[in-house]
Amino acid sequence: MSTTKRVSVITTPIYYVNDLPHVGHAYTTIAADTLARARRLGGQDVFFLTGTDEHGQNIERIARERGISEQEHCDAISAAFRSLWDRYDIRYDRFIRTTEDVHRRGVLKLWARLRGAKTPDGRDAVYLGKYSGWYCPRCEGFKDEEELRQPDNVCPDHERPCEWTEEENFFFRLSAYEGWLRETIESDRLRIRPDSRRNEILGVIKQGLKDFSVSRARVKWGIAVPEQPDHVLYVWVDALSNYVTALGFADDGEAYRHYWAGGDERLHLIGKDIIRFHCLYWPAILHAAGVPVPTREFAQGFITRDGRKLSKTTGNVIDPVALVQRLGPDAARYFVLREAPYGADWDFTDSAFVGRYNADLANDLGNLVSRALTMAAKYCDGKVPPRWEPSVPEGVGPARAVDFTEMFATSVCVPNDGLAAKVLGRYEDIDFSGALTELWGWIGQFNQAIVQAQPWSLAKDPARRGELEAFLYRLLEGVRLVAVLVSPVMPRAASRIFGMLGVGEREPTPGDLAWGRLEPGRPLGSILPLFPRVDRDGEPKSGSEDAPATKTATKKQKETPVSETTPPPAPKPEAAPAAAATAATAGDRIDIAEFAKVELRAAKITAAEKIAGSKKLVRLQVDLGSDVRQVVAGIADAYEAEALVGKTVIVVANLKPAKLMGVESNGMVLAGSIDGKAVLCSFDAEVAPGTKVK
């Protein structure tokens, strides 16, 4: 193992097994997995830890209600967490359970150190005292009276009355570490982010810290206190200790010495509701015990749904299993990390999930991959084209052969200001939304560059063959690099893109960040839809090229505008002379009410391909603002399919679906005709998709 690599440990909270996993658990774990993958991609040495907290009074109660043992209950819920992480492609290095023996031994070792520890002013760090106060069994914690709702001293979190409790406990003397904690946080030796959470913790310290209980007399399911076996160690010593016990703290194991004691960073990703315990209790406990403390804590925000707080009672929930089943793990991971800055509160809606999937994944990334590979397959015999790299100064990277290529041909070679450095830097800052925004900016530029460079036109001129191949090579390299840099968020999609590029489905490595890894002449893989478009309910769009076909057109089929079950339209008359047109009678015209029935809207073409067996028909995917739909148009003899992408056209949006050569069309593109060739109706200024045409 190289000693020059940056070494870090990344943890999620260990999740309490009082219930099945919820979306907040998934959110934190996806974030931690993404950061770990990004660091590995950057060549760092990372240990990613997660697990389950399995002790406490609630577990006793739930197991009793279910008629099973505490261990049986813990086994079942812990397995549910691991199963969910498999669904989300979470790749942790260790899953710790607090019922494991290695954890119990590590906790007792830490407890022994605390029992012998002295505070800065020479007093015992742990002492035996009596506690009296309002106790919430569901929280398994004491509440200050000002926290409770009246009447009946109701817990604000669980909305149940608290119990007045008096018992003898062991206490940790947190008040004695107030000055040390303040200085550690203000100096950023313990870096708490976002800044609002750092300020919150400093505000708590300013108010004065209270000692807290570290044992419980009323709980049996836990780790017994050696000096007093009728007590068990409370969550602050038991559960929080997992961060070191999982690494082998009990036996001073190699992983503990390498990643925790000797690592460059010890990072906890946590929910903002548990920052006091992680940013005050836990560092003070470790400091008192002579164990290295965390160096960084990052608190995520809360998720609401449709503007309302998540609640099982009201049924306003986001099921993480249903979420991943709906559109797959890559889409779910992308959405929760892209929708809002990590650390901020944000609102989940089904329409936003499906909308971002269609816009960002199907239209932007999916179309880029499809267009780049389709053109390479068509114009370069299904192989990676030659590089055609002109000479450039050492350390600068490949120069451009076509205008747009400079922006990514040199980007990876710029150490501090290139695309890779920017995106990996965003990941490192735990700014997942920012990293993805950076990447999608480039995806948009790549798609626009295809329209500007018009490789289909270059392909018609043998003298420009080198320019075409240089463009396509750089475009494929751009796609490859996008796959590399998006892989921490969407590992499956990245692997599939690698497969289509002919380099084999695999996880990217640090070496893949270099420019020019595609070998000219290598056969490309099969081109498959990366993210099939879906309707508002998350189902594959009917008639889409991405959806399973129900009927297949054969070569013998004649070009016909309708299916067998659809009445044929009236034949189109030849264009009438102008004089005849002026002589039309009122009976040949429609009134404004009839015309108002026709819904004309602006639509942006996001994908286009010729329909096999037809000389005129082209299958279009058009963005109408509120949805993306498939339209078939008879314009292939006038426009190259690739040249249509990005154009804004006018569509009759309320036509009933019809089939043309077995392909469903959901609308009609308006066009005129010059010398027998179609000319699309368009606009002389930018018009947003979905705009009504009057």
Distance separating alpha carbons of residues 44 and 487, to the nearest angstrom: 16
674 to 638, 677, 682, 684: CA distances (angstroms): 10, 5, 15, 19
Whether residue 337 contacts residue 489, with contact meaning beta carbons closer than 8 Å, is answered with: yes
Catalytic residue chosen out of the listed positions 158, 206, 220, 615: 158
Give the residue among 598, 595, 605, 674 at the shortest CA–CA distance from 633.
605
Active site residue 380: no
Distance separating alpha carbons of residues 457 and 539, to the nearest angstrom: 37
Does the bond joining 194 to the residue before it have cis omega, within 30 degrees of 0? yes
R_g (Cα) of the chain, nearest Å: 31
138 burial via Cβ count (<10 Å: 0-12, 13-18, 19+): middle
CA 669 to chain centre: 35
Active site residue 143: no
* Neighbouring C-alpha atoms within 13 Å toward the C-beta of 185: 30
Distance separating alpha carbons of residues 256 and 248, to the nearest angstrom: 5
Catalytic residue chosen out of the listed positions 5, 22, 258, 616: 22
Active site residue 556: no
Catalytic residue chosen out of the listed positions 309, 615, 677, 692: 309
Active site residue 413: no
Catalytic residue chosen out of the listed positions 25, 143, 278, 647: 25
DSSP 621-636: EEE-SS-EEEEEES-T
The count of residues in the chain is: 694
Strands (E) in 173-250, as ranges, are: 191-193, 212-213, 215-216, 224-225, 228-233
Active site residue 73: no
Active site residue 25: yes
Catalytic residue chosen out of the listed positions 73, 74, 143, 155: 155
Q: At what angle do helices 367-379 and 491-500 cross, to 10 degrees?
A: 10
Active site residue 210: no
Question: Coil, strand or helix: which one is 143?
Answer: strand
Catalytic residue chosen out of the listed positions 210, 312, 556, 572: 312
Q: At what angle do helices 432-453 and 329-338 cross, to 10 degrees?
A: 110
Which amino acid type is present at position 413? C
Catalytic residue chosen out of the listed positions 55, 74, 103, 136: 136
Q: Which residue has the tokens 């036996």?
A: 251
Active site residue 74: no
- Determine how many CB atoms are found less than 10 A away from the CB of residue 104: 20
Ramachandran assignment for 340, one of left (phi > 0), alpha (psi -120 to 50 degrees), beta (any other): beta
Distance separating alpha carbons of residues 90 and 445, to the nearest angstrom: 31
Does the bond joining 488 to the residue before it have cis omega, within 30 degrees of 0? no
Going by their DSSP bridges, the two strands 663-665 and 668-669 should be labelled as unpaired
Instruction: Dihedral sign for Cα 387, 391, 392, 395, please.
Output: positive
Distance separating alpha carbons of residues 635 and 617, to the nearest angstrom: 6
Going by their DSSP bridges, the two strands 648-652 and 668-669 should be labelled as antiparallel
**Which residues are part of the catalytic machinery?**
22, 25, 136, 139, 155, 158, 309, 312
